[in-house]
Amino acid sequence: MQPSPDCPLCPRLAAFRAAARRSEPDWFNAPVPTFGAAGGRLLVVGLAPGLKGANRTGRPFTGDYAGDLLYSTLLDTGFADGRYDRRPDDGLALVDCAITNAVRCVPPENKPTPAEITACRPFLVEQIAAMPLLKAVVALGRIAHDSVLRAFGAKLAANPFGHGRRHALARADGEPVTVFDSFHCSRYNTSTRLLTPEMFRDVFAAVAGHLARQ
């Protein structure tokens, strides 16, 4: 189940999308689909498409400031192959990994409301269910973390967000999945050095180590 290009579930986001279609008819301007194959063992979950990034290009994080660090880190840690060039036709391939967002449509000012995050969660639940080999999730930021935990039916109080934290969860079929938390790789977090490239790399290196032990 994917959201339709004209998904009506969030009226505010649908209106924002309609306005973007009028002002930028050549942009993607629709719910941004997951990037990567369903056979991967890792799912990276971001917040929501950026207006001039994923909402323009149609591929998660592609053309967004946050994508520069995400894709260079995935290339560095073996979860991507090729060259990232901020375009969906750059030929970059994900390895054992897929990337999606907690909210599929671009929200005004990058801020989805709690109701929009809830309305979009069924697509995240479906994404998780569609990955039979899934062993690890990287949640980028607290909003992604909370939505992923809820998608697994896990208790937020028992699993608080924290950069570098791991949460041992189970999918509906009982198979174990570990959620790795990271601060979001946003421009704000990187320019304030809340998140450094080394900290971000360490999260994905920990995931690679975890998968190697499976």
Q: How many residues bind ligand URA (CB under 6 A)?
A: 13
From candidates 30, 42, 66, 120, binder to ligand URA by CB under 6 A: 66
Q: Is 53 in the site for ligand URA (CB under 6 A)?
A: yes
From candidates 101, 147, 182, 189, binder to ligand URA by CB under 6 A: 101
> What x/- string results for residues 136 through 175 when contact with ligand URA is judged by CB under 6 A?
----x-----------------------------------
Q: Which is nearer to ligand URA, 37 or 209 (CB)?
A: 37
Which residues make Cβ contacts (< 8 Å) with residue 137, sequence separation at least 6?
42, 43, 44, 45, 128, 148, 177, 178, 179, 180
C-alpha dist (Å) from residue 175 to 133, 170, 208: 9, 5, 18
Interstrand relation of 97-101 and 42-46 (parallel, antiparallel or unpaired): parallel
Closest separation in Å from C-beta 184 to ligand URA: 6
Closest separation in Å from C-beta 96 to ligand URA: 20
Q: Which is nearer to ligand URA, 105 or 136 (CB)?
A: 105
Residues 139, 128: Cα–Cα separation, whole Å = 13
Task: Give a three-class secondary structure readout of 91-111.
Answer: CCEECCEEEEECCCCCCHHHC
From candidates 3, 31, 40, 49, binder to ligand URA by CB under 6 A: 49
Q: What are the phi and psi torsion angles at 107 (to 5°)? A: -100, 150
Which of 85, 86, 84 lies closest to 62 in space, CA to CA?
86
Query: Which parts of this chain interact with ligand URA (CB under 6 A)?
Result: 46-50, 53-54, 60-61, 64, 66, 101, 140
